[in-house]
Each structure stands twice: as structure tokens, then as C-alpha cells.
């Protein structure tokens, strides 16, 4: 915490120095959304380069002055929380003054900018994000406040903890971990008692694009148990994008890649080649939109696809067919095909990339 306080004090000191010299204070930020500031490393994923391009948030420019003020406001809130050892969610911060902040996304963006500017992970700033992910299966742990949590498959899952760093005493006999893109598929596998039938496993869903806590938990489970991790996604560009976030990270959070990515993640399904192999009827597939085409083209150009020749092939099959499929498409074969046939076969015979 002293490191956080010191980092904030340094920023404020610079502001005061500028004022003393009758100069307009400026905050300097890394350009988080610029691909030119990102390098791809096999072992880490997408990582921010040390000497990246920056942008200035000036206090004397009408366009950036409001952001400058909001950043100082949130810095002062963080400073107080670290001093008093209290925590707040991003929603708490937004609701502390909705008129001032204007929208939740403004708060979220500024918090990421501050984290990147101070080079301090967000959870060390005493800001928790609300969690939307679920975890189930052969796993138990103790939360920071001493609560014991058991995720062993009942019909319901456990919400991913909001302070992943604080959990301890993790115990699991799982043979593998399965990341499921969508909540509906996750619930279906729970109902089919998938976690226990095949061999003990841990299932996680970020319910679409994963939030920070879900990604932190996947990484923590990998660090703790070093078991294979598979992903089950829709066979569409959006599903591939989500899988890449878990595996290689995202551009906007590349400054935290070391805590968030798991490059050993495998693509289990739904593979574009599976659709041909299983003779899935064309009439249950969905035609590409222009947006799908653009998304796929942008993924194909990314640096990590070049070192994944098998993935490259799958994306080429998808691009050529201009068709996409949701995981639910397997119910056209039989209602429990996913848990009874598809996943057991894939896991047993190594049908992943």
C-alpha cells in the first residue's frame, strides 16, 4: 500500500510543481488501445512494450480538462481507500457522483488508465470489479474473509470471487479445466452432471467476454494446479475472439498481461472443421454478417495466429464457408450430444488444437 500511496503522491507532486512554475499541469498516459504499443510473446501473450507512445491529458485544453479533473478525483478516492484499507467496486465509484462521471464506462476507462499510468494492478488500487463469471466442479477454497467455498457440482454454480488475489487453500482433484463461452451451455453441462461423469473437472464461464476476475481466476487455477485447460466456444469470430482473450489477453489490458493470460489454453471446440466432420445440416448454420467478416479478417492478421498453423486452417475454413454455428447446433444431432458424445470423444482422442 505504501507503494500505491507513493505513486499517487508523485503524480500530485508533478501537478503542484507545474502550478508553481505557472505551467498547466499534464498527466501522461500510455496509448493502451494502439496495436503499435503491443508486442506478442509466446510465453505471455499480448504485452505492452516498455517504451510505448503516450498521450497527454492536459488541464488547459477544453477537450481533455474534464478527464484531467476526473482522474484527480478518482486518484483522491483511491488514496483515501488505500489509507483506510477499504474497498469499493467500480459501480460504487460511479454512484458516488453520477452527475460528475456521466456514465459507468467513463469510470471504467479512467480506472484502467490510472492503473496503467501508475503501473499498479487494479486490485492493488482497492477497486474491485463486479463479477459476472461462474465456476463449478471439483474445487474448494477459502475466501479472504475466511468463508469456505465448495464448488463441487450441484445443479448451481458459484460466482467467481470478487477478490481473486485473496483466495487461499485451493484444493482440487480435477484432471482438466473447461472454459465455456456461454452461460446457457454452462448450465446445460451442469444439468447433465458433466463435472463428475467423465472425470473430475473444473468448469468456468465468463458469460461471453470475460471480466477481469474470471480471467484472474483462470490464471490462478493454472498457476496452482497446472492442469490442461480447454475452451468450448461458438464456431464464429466472436467465439474465437473470446478464446484469444483468455489465452493471449486483450490490447486494452496488455499492461497487465503477466497476471491475466494463460498461453497454454487449447481450443477444444466448436471447430469449424467439426461442422463438416459431423455432417451438421447447412440449414441450422447461420450466414456471416459484414461485421463477422470484418472481425474474422482482423483476427487472421493478428501476430499470434501466425504461430498457430492449425488455428489458421480453421479460420480459413470459416472464412471460405461464410457460415457460423453456436454450440447449441449439436442438439440437432441429439439433445445430449454435447455432454454424452462430443466432449468425451474430444477429450479421449485429443481432438483439440
- Residues designated catalytic: 95
Q: Which three cell numbers stand for residue 351?
A: 481432438
Helices first, then strands: H and E counts in the chain: 15, 17
To 10 degrees, the CA torsion angle through 12, 17, 22, 24? Answer: -40
User: Do residues 198 and 343 touch, judged by C-beta distance below 8 A?
Assistant: yes
Could you tell me how far CA 118 lies from the centroid of its own chain?
21
Q: Are 160 and 204 in contact (CB under 8 A)?
A: yes
Q: Is the dihedral of CA 299, 304, 307, 311 positive or negative?
A: negative
Triad 322, 210, 159: Cα angle to 5°: 135
DSSP conformation letters of 240-269: HHHHHHHHH--STTGGGHHHH--TT-EEEE
Amino acid at each position: 500500500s505504501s507503494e500505491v500511496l507513493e505513486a499517487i503522491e508523485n503524480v500530485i507532486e508533478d501537478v503542484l510543481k507545474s502550478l508553481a512554475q505557472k505551467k498547466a499541469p499534464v498527466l501522461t498516459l500510455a496509448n493502451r488501445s494502439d496495436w503499435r504499443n503491443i508486442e506478442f510473446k509466446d510465453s505471455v501473450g499480448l504485452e505492452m512494450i516498455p517504451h510505448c507512445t503516450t498521450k497527454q491529458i492536459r488541464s488547459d485544453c477544453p477537450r481533455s480538462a474534464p478527464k484531467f479533473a476526473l482522474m484527480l478525483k478518482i486518484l483522491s478516492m483511491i488514496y483515501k481507500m488505500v489509507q483506510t484499507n477499504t474497498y469499493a467496486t467500480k459501480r460504487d465509484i460511479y454512484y458516488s457522483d453520477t452527475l460528475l462521471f456521466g456514465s459507468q464506462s467513463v469510470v471504467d476507462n479512467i480506472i484502467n488508465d490510472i492503473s496503467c499510468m501508475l503501473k499498479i494492478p487494479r486490485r492493488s488500487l482497492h477497486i474491485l470489479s463486479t463479477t459476472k463469471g461462474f465456476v463449478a466442479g471439483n474445487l474448494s477454497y477459502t475466501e479472504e474473509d475466511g468463508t469456505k467455498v465448495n464448488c463441487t457440482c450441484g445443479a448451481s454454480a458459484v460466482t467467481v470471487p470478487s477478490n481473486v488475489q485473496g483466495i487461499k487453500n485451493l484444493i482440487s482433484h480435477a484432471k482438466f479445466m473447461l472454459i465455456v463461452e456461454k452461460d446457457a451451455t454452462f448450465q446445460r453441462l451442469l444439468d447433465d452432471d458433466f463435472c463428475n461423469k467423465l472425470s473430475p473437472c473444473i468448469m468456468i464461464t465468463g458469460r461471453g467476454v470475460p471480466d477481469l476476475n474470471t480471467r484472474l481466476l483462470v490464471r490462478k487455477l493454472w498457476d496452482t494446479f497446472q492442469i490442461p485447460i480447454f475452451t468450448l466456444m461458438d464456431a464464429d469470430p466472436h467465439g474465437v475472439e473470446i478464446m484469444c482473450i483468455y489465452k493471449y489477453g486483450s490490447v486494452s489490458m496488455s499492461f497487465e498481461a503477466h497476471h491475466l493470460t494463460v498461453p497454454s489454453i487449447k481450443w477444444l471446440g466448436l471447430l469449424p472443421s467439426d461442422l463438416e466432420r459431423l455432417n451438421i445440416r447447412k440449414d441450422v448454420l447461420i450466414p456471416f454478417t459484414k461485421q463477422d467478416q470484418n472481425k474474422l479478417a482482423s483476427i487472421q492478421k493478428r501476430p499470434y495466429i501466425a504461430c498457430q498453423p492449425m488455428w489458421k486452417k480453421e479460420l480459413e475454413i470459416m472464412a471460405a464457408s461464410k457460415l457460423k454455428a453456436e454450440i447449441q447446433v449439436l442438439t440437432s444431432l441429439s439433445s445430449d450430444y454435447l455432454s454424452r458424445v462430443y466432449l468425451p470423444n474430444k477429450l479421449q482422442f485429443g481432438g483439440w488444437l
